Structure 1
Amino acid sequence: MTGGGPSSANSSQPEEVCLVCQDISTGYHYGVPSCNGCKTFFRRTIMKNQTFTCQFQKKCPVDKSVRCACRHCRFEKCLQVGMDRNAIQQNRDPIGYTKRTRRYPPIKKIEASEECSPNMMSESDRNEDNFLATLTATEEKCKRLRLSEYMPTRTLIEAVVSPCLLYDDQFMAEHGEPSPRHSYKDLRFATQVDYHYWHERDWFVMIEWAKTLPVFQALTFPDKLALLRHSAITYPSLVHVFNSPDHGLDTIVFPDGAYFDRTPEPTRPLGFNKKKYQMLDQLLKPIRQMSIDTTEFSAFKAIFFLNPDADDVDATAKKILSDGRSAITNALYRYMVKNKGAEDAGDRFGRLLLLGTVLATMAVEMKEAVLVADFFDQIKFSMFAKQLLFGIKTENA
């Protein structure tokens, strides 16, 4: 039964959070601290006797920035944290309008008549939209750096603490042109050397890109390393898929013409072959079907990267990451409303964010495969790759 939480807590105590999505709780609803959004969602689901289906493996993330993406996993999370369906009373919990006091909305709903009118936007909205435009411009710089000849030789620590190359106009003017080796006339099947080469390049660009994010720069050094490690396995996959020339839905092509498809590769570890099929079926296919543009891709990449659930980040970092991620999701939703219309934006937004579940699943499976490959010496990782994937003893120096 809906009821307010204890009101005696003073302002010096930390605010209680919703156990479902980690937004700010507005009190105890149906037995647990929760926000108005999750309270209303739970009540409507029970009152309407609704059932939902998860499009993935029933492991979708549920936090305040993506809680609307999968209703099945959100409802299951409500039950897991202890929301009591028996506390809902037909005569006291009708389905209808309830006064809302949500303080940190994950997505600010926009009606068709309000499509991003500058006069109706708050300063916060404009700042979020400006940052989305910055992300898009930065993505174009990342493409230039990825295709350039330049590749530094440095440790992970040196890479993280050095000034951002994407902000160095002189450097980009000297090294921002595509290398002749990153072009092709004919395709050739990728070798292990090709996989290594493009992963190293994409890790190099990933770190430079991360340093352009104010949220990343606000983290402590150990939290920066933890966030980079969390995305190290899946970031290259996302970049490979989005930037591949279209040679068919079952083919991913690197800029130098090396490609891979469904052809089995018995010389590669089993886990790496499985990752390849996941990329083709669960990333390349939906991204091509949706015709995701650079702005949508740059936003999604940042949303997935700024993961408050990344291993080894502390509580302060989780709050910073969650707030930063929410700002980008707000701007992305407004962008989709403006370009696709209010009616289609919600579905498109949900479909895009649910690709994060694919990446999260791939990350878990690939971490194990990488550890096995290293243990049995199946793959020769570079020193930089080992520092990024497995950690380094001197990182606290």
Structure 2
Amino acid sequence: MPNNKREKIPEGTLCVVCSDFASGIHYSVASCNGCKTFFRRALVNKQTFTCQFSGDCVVGKSVRCVCRSCRLKKCFDMGMDPKAIQHDRDKIRYTKALKKKREEEKRLKEMVIKEDIGSPQSIASDTYINTSTPSSSTMINILENDHHSYDPEAQNDVKAVIEDLLRLESRVKSLRNSYRFESQVSATSCMYSSCLLDDITYMAENTHENEGTIEPFECSVEKLREWFVRDLSLMLEWGKCLPIMERLLLNDKLALMKAFAPIFPLIQLAFYTRNEFECDIVIKLEPDCTPKPIPERLNYPDGSFIEKGNKPANTWEEMHTMLIDGCYKMMRQLKIKESTFVLYKMLLFHNPDADGLSSLGKKTIENERMRLLTQLFSYLSTERGKEAQTIFSNLLMMSATLSKTASFIKRVFDFNHIFNRTNDLIDQLIIVGL
């Protein structure tokens, strides 16, 4: 084939690495420009990457920049040919934006070393934290525009958003902790009805604290399903209260709910798990301190728990092992407060790649997500100072773990659905569809 002609592929062909639209045949396979450039840069610059998890992270259109190690591995697995790279071409150079970012990071690092040399208080020493920064254009744009962190008006906007979300979260927690409410039967009809979180009578009847001592007991698959249905009911009510919903069509609202359905119960479980030894978790150690073990158990308000142990592979308990290591411990090591958690949860909900979104809905969600990303980084910069970039990077990494865990739970419930077709919210939002 002449060098001046690019091999054409059928319209709509997807990249074999990340499933974005392919731009052509690059290095022997159909791939997008992003994966093509990533593969060439990694090999030409002889870069090596290390996965922070188990080496099988999800590599998709929306999370392809999260783990470079697994992305490069998938490039090879899908047949990208390193021999096809033309090494005699001009050396790959950083874009102006990335070059500017690297210079700024170097300057800040030198300042930190001068100020804190020898300090044992660095968050980078934590066992469960990955200090590498995701090489995504989104991250670069936010870092370049971090002047919002010092804009009083922008800070007031972020605080107002967080205050509203915390008030909403308080109602959700009250219902979840009492678990007296009846779960929703139909997701579609729920979206048509008024929000129960705004119903004073309903909230008064369903938020009484449970009396008596709660004895812990091991969670069964049936109990897990019961709690997932409860959390999905709360997700629907929570979602209806979000400002973005007023600007979306019903089908777009349902598309967002379905995309977020496998993740919402998981992140609620990980963040709101409270163990009796929680106060013993050591985040930053003094030189003479010995860390105490973090409880490897997730629990629900009724006392049911899932404990990490030597379970056989491909069991539903394995899902909770991923959740404990990749989310529960991570959030405690990063000292994530509820104010950060509610903003992060909003960010995860605004998924422009959700199946079924209209073109207008997709554009609306994309704009809103970028605003939320900026707000989250701005808030972290104000609250956590020089730790903000590390925390922000690890939160983005955690989204890949949640996606992987969500895929696992879908398989668990899919198998259960074969023998027990209940047509509950799990079937409607996770397995079969509406």
Taking structure 2 as the reference length, what is the TM-score of the superposition?
A: 0.65
TM-aligned CA distance change 1:385 to 1:95, over 3 Å: closer
Cα deviation for residue 294 of structure 1 reads 0.7
Counterpart for residue 5 of structure 1: none
Cα deviation, 1:69-128, whole Å, max 9, x if unaligned, reads: 54556789999999x97599659x76685699xxx965533799x683344x55xx7545
- Structure 2: any 5+ residue segments left out of the alignment? 1-17, 21-30, 100-136, 277-293
Instruction: Give the counterpart letter for 1:259 in structure 2.
Output: F
1:237-276 matches, within 5 Å, as 237-247=266-276, 248-262=294-308, 271-276=315-320
1:151-300 matches, within 5 Å, as 151-152=182-183, 154-166=185-197, 168=198, 170-171=200-201, 174-175=204-205, 177-180=207-210, 184-247=213-276, 248-262=294-308, 271-300=315-344
Q: 1:52 aligns with which of 31, 49, 53?
A: 49
Counterpart contact for 1:184–1:257, Cα < 8 Å: no
Tell whether 2:156 aligns with 1:109: no
Instruction: Give the 3-state SS of the residue equivalent to 1:109 in structure 2.
Output: helix
Cα deviation for residue 243 of structure 1 reads 0.6
1:1-397 matches, within 5 Å, as 49-56=46-53, 57=55, 59=57, 69-72=66-69, 97=96, 107-109=141-143, 116-119=149-152, 121=153, 127-128=157-158, 130-148=160-178, 149-152=180-183, 154-166=185-197, 168=198, 170-171=200-201, 174-175=204-205, 177-180=207-210, 184-247=213-276, 248-262=294-308, 271-342=315-386, 344-377=387-420, 381=422, 383-391=424-432
Counterpart for residue 282 of structure 2: none
Cα deviation for residue 21 of structure 1 reads 12
Instruction: Give the counterpart letter for 1:117 in structure 2.
Output: Y
Counterpart contact for 1:128–1:330, Cα < 8 Å: no
- Root-mean-square deviation (CA), in Å? 4.4
Cα deviation, 1:287-336, whole Å, max 9, x if unaligned, reads: 22222111222122222222222233343332222222221111111111
Cα deviation, 1:152-185, whole Å, max 9, x if unaligned, reads: 554222211111222x16246524634316x744
Counterpart contact for 2:352–2:365, Cα < 8 Å: yes
Instruction: Give the 3-state SS of the residue equivalent to 2:356 in structure 1.
Output: coil
Counterpart contact for 1:184–1:256, Cα < 8 Å: no
Cα deviation for residue 251 of structure 1 reads 0.9
Counterpart contact for 1:308–1:319, Cα < 8 Å: yes
Q: Partners in 2 of 1:95 and 1:280 — Cα distance?
A: 37
Instruction: Give the counterpart letter for 1:383 in structure 2.
Output: D
Counterpart for residue 10 of structure 2: none
Counterpart contact for 1:58–1:73, Cα < 8 Å: yes
Taking structure 1 as the reference length, what is the TM-score of the superposition?
A: 0.70
Instruction: Give the counterpart letter for 2:149 in structure 1.
Output: C
Identical-residue share of aligned pairs (%)? 25
Counterpart contact for 1:132–1:332, Cα < 8 Å: no
Cα deviation for residue 145 of structure 1 reads 2.2
Q: Partners in 2 of 1:128 and 1:77 — Cα distance?
A: 38
TM-aligned CA distance change 1:169 to 1:312, over 3 Å: closer
Cα deviation for residue 362 of structure 1 reads 1.9
Counterpart for residue 102 of structure 2: none
- Structure 1: any 5+ residue segments left out of the alignment? 1-19, 23-31
Instruction: Give the 3-state SS of the residue equivalent to 2:149 in structure 1.
Output: coil
Q: Partners in 1 of 2:166 and 2:39 — Cα distance?
A: 36
TM-aligned CA distance change 1:87 to 1:391, over 3 Å: same
Cα deviation for residue 197 of structure 1 reads 2.9
Q: Partners in 2 of 1:224 and 1:111 — Cα distance?
A: 30
Counterpart contact for 2:142–2:374, Cα < 8 Å: yes
Count, aligned residues: 352
TM-aligned CA distance change 1:134 to 1:233, over 3 Å: same
Q: Partners in 2 of 1:382 and 1:61 — Cα distance?
A: 31
